Each structure stands twice: as C-alpha cells, then as structure tokens.
Amino acid sequence: MKIRTKIILLSSAIASLILLSFAVYVSYFTSKTLENKFFKRLEENARMLGTHVMNSKVYKDKSYYELSNKFINQFSFGRNYLVRVEKDRKQPRYEPLLPMGNDFFEETIEHGRAELMLDGTAYVALFFEDKDHKKNLVVVSAAIDDFGNAEHRDLNEALISGVAIFLLFIILLSFYFADKLLNPIASINKRIGQINISNLNLRLPAKGAKEKDEIEVLISNINDMLSRLEISVKSQRSFISNASHSLRTPMTIISGESELALDCLDPEHPAHYSVEMVSKEVDRMNMIVNSLLLLSRTGYGGKDQNMSLVRIDELLYSVKESEGYLNDNHRIFLDFSNIPEDSNLLTVNVNQDLFFIGLSNIISNACKYGNEQEVKVGIAVVDSKIVIRVIDRGIGIPDRDKPHIFESFFRASNIGNIYGNGLGLVLARNIFELHHASLDIHSIEGVGTTVTIYCPIARL
C-alpha cells in the first residue's frame, strides 16, 4: 500500500472516529436531557394531582378530572393512575393495570419517588402518606414524549448529515495534505529516476532554507552520496582506461616476441614448446583482460552504447559464422521454423557489438560443453518478446553449482580440462540486462542445458 493511501486512510479513520464519538456523545447526552426534563414534567403533574387528592375530601371530584384532562391534553397518551397501598405494606395488595412490577412500587414507597422508561412510555410515581385515610396514596403519571422524540430524531438526522459532510470534507483535505506532504518525495523520486551512471553530475534541487526539515536533510544526504558515487565511478573509469593500456601493451609485446621466437626456433628445439606455451597463455590473458574490460563497460548503465535497430536472425547467423571460423568442431543448427512472417517482429534495439558478444558467449559455451554434439538455436515470438533458445546435449550443470553460475570466475565442478575463464556467462547476463533482456537457464547434469533469452521487440 502506498504511503499516500495510508495517510488518507489513517487521517480519515481518525477523523471519522472522533466525529462519530462526538455525535454519539451529543445524541446520548441530548436523549438523557430530554428524558430527564420529561420526567420532571410528569413529576410536577403527579405532585399536583396527589396534592389535590390529599387536600380534597372527595376522592375524585370535578376538579380532579379537570386537572387530569389538562394533563392528558399536554402529553401524548397521557394517563394518571391513583393506587392505594395499605400502610403496613410496601406494594399494592392488588396489582394495578400497569406494565411495571411490584419493584417499582416498592422503590416508590421506600424513596418517595420512582421513574421508569418502558417501551417508549415514561412513568413517574410519587408516594403520599395519607393520615386521614387508612391507605396511603401512590400517584402514577404516564405519557409518551412525542415532542422530545421528534427533537431527538431531528438532532440525530442533523448529526448524521453533519458527520457525513464533515467526513467528506476531511477526506478531501486528506487528499490535499497527502499530496502536499508527498509531492517533495515524488519530485525526489522522479529526479533520482533521471540520474544514471552517465549523468552522475546531476543533483537534487534544494531550497537552501536556514532551518532544514526532514526532506531537505534527505536531499542533502542524497546529493552527498551522489558526489561520492561520482568520484568513485570516475576513479573506476580512470583505472579501467589505465589498466587497458598498461596491460595490453606488455601483452602485445610478449605476444609479438613469442611469435617471432617461434618463427626463429626449430620445432625440435627444447625452448620451442615453452615459447609456444607462453604465446598461448598470453592469448588467454589477453582474452581475460578484454572480458574484464567489457564486463566493466556493461556496468555503465547505457553510457555510450550506440543503440541501433538490428534483426536478431541476422545477428545469430553472424554468430554462427564467427564460431565456425574460430573452431571447425563447433556445429550450430539455426532453427528458423517458428519465426513470424513480419520481419519487424525480429527487430531489437541494441548495441550490435555488445549483443553479438552476449549471444556468442552463450552459444560458445553450449559448443564447448556440448560433448562436440550439434547445438540447436531456435527463435520464436511469444507475448511481444523475442525468445531465443540455445539447446545442447552436453555435460550439464551439477545442482550444487547452479546457485553460483553467475559469479565471476566461477566454473562448474564437472568441466574437466575444458578451457574457460568463468566470465562468459556473467558478461552475457550483464549485456542482456543492459538491453532489458532476461536470461533463464535450465540444466540437468549429464543430459544438457537449455538457455532461454527473452528480448523486447523494438518499437518502430
């Protein structure tokens, strides 16, 4: 998950939690406040009716009904209940037609007052001790608070709509601030993506503020790292250039002198064999130096690679001719039976010299380690990629050696006396990666090896 998405989700979740908590608190507090106010009104009515009954000689006279009707007209489903309770009891002898149990009346007699909200109907009971009557009096007033319920519904609707609007506003703000916070990082990533081995002189732009924030510190550290990397690469290039001249010159002299000595010495001369070995080893040394220099060159990320459009079938044919010229025993069969009719699908955008070396190293390895059997090279186009398969029936690669085949100077344990320097496969992989191609190797010891190269088709 991207950081931008995390910021938006986290800020929205926190804001939603705060808003919902506030809305629930307001709704609950308002509900309790309306409920308490309604209980107070019912209590006033019950107290007024109870006082009237206690002061009146008639149990339910005309004035009682007038007060009761006035109460009924003020509330929805308003009712008054007069319950007589014997003085030595804490509950009525006969249960009145009310939904609450005797606990409600026991609380009323014990504390002088009780209240209850049951199925949306509020009940308030007051206890009156009647000295002029053999039974005490409990007045129960009941009603539904339609006005309060309506107010609470309106409040809840307002809270829901308000929370939704504010939440939408907060989400939009989260998008804005996430972009505002991450834009510098996005700019840094974009700028870093433009920097490669060929333009290490580029730097990230800095604001130059006196008080540096975390982004400015990051930019400064990256620029310092780029400076150190630029110095290191320049040193490496300088070393490679110097090494190229320093090593090739003496090897050229040794090679020339040894060839001259071989021409002058009789083949039966005791020193002839030694000079011949020197000449061969110099050639091998020269090959290693060239491979190392080329290996370093492939690490420059496209610096001066001189890309051009090349047909892969023609390049493979050139590799076959070159291998046949170098070694008559290398038998290579080019299988073009699966190539598409559209020749544009066989075109790649590569450095022809480097790609030739990469293909040559793979095919040369197949010939060297193929038990002098024919090597098959096939071409096909699969999923917008050119697929090159090099198949040999040679010695294969032991399982224990497979994790190390791309290590420089590594050679498999079953190669015997076959000559090599352990750089060909590494060099080929680097060349293919430089051209956004990939390399896959499947090998079974004693059976053979299949090397598959996936190359992107050039956009014409």
Q: Are residues 419 and 443 in the same domain?
A: yes
Give the C-alpha distances (Å, rounded to integers) separating 200 from 156, 170, 192, 422. 62, 42, 10, 31
pLDDT at 79: 82
d(CA 106, CA 199): 92
d(CA 91, CA 11): 57
Is residue 327 within 8 Å of residue 375, measured between CB atoms?
Answer: no
Give the C-alpha distances (Å, rounded to integers) separating 383 from 51, 380, 457. 96, 10, 10
Residue 409's CATH number: 3.30.565.10
209 within some domain:
no
106 within some domain:
yes
Count the Cβ atoms, other than its own, within 10 Å of residue 447.
Answer: 12
Q: Is 419 in a helix, a strand, or coil?
A: coil
pLDDT, one tens digit per residue, over 413-422 is 888 878 777 7
Q: Are residues 17 and 147 in the same domain?
A: yes
pLDDT at 203: 85
pLDDT, one tens digit per residue, over 132-143 is 777 888 888 888
Out of 117, 135, 152, pick the residue that ends a domain: 152
pLDDT at 48: 82
Residue 288's CATH number: 1.10.287
179 within some domain:
no
Q: Amino acid identity, residue 148?
A: G
- How does strand 375-382 pair with strand 332-335? parallel
Structural domain of residue 400, as residue ranges? 308-456
376 Cβ contact partners less than 8 Å away, ≥ 6 residues apart: 333, 335, 389, 390, 391, 392
Could you say which DSSP state residue 305 is in? Answer: -
What percentage of the chain carries pLDDT values higher than 70? 90
- Would you call 363 exposed, middle or buried from its count of C-beta atoms within 10 A (0-12, 13-18, 19+)? buried
Extract the residue ranges of the chain whose pLDDT is less than 70: 57-73, 93-95, 208-211, 241, 244, 284, 287-288, 291-305, 460
Residue 14's CATH number: 3.30.450
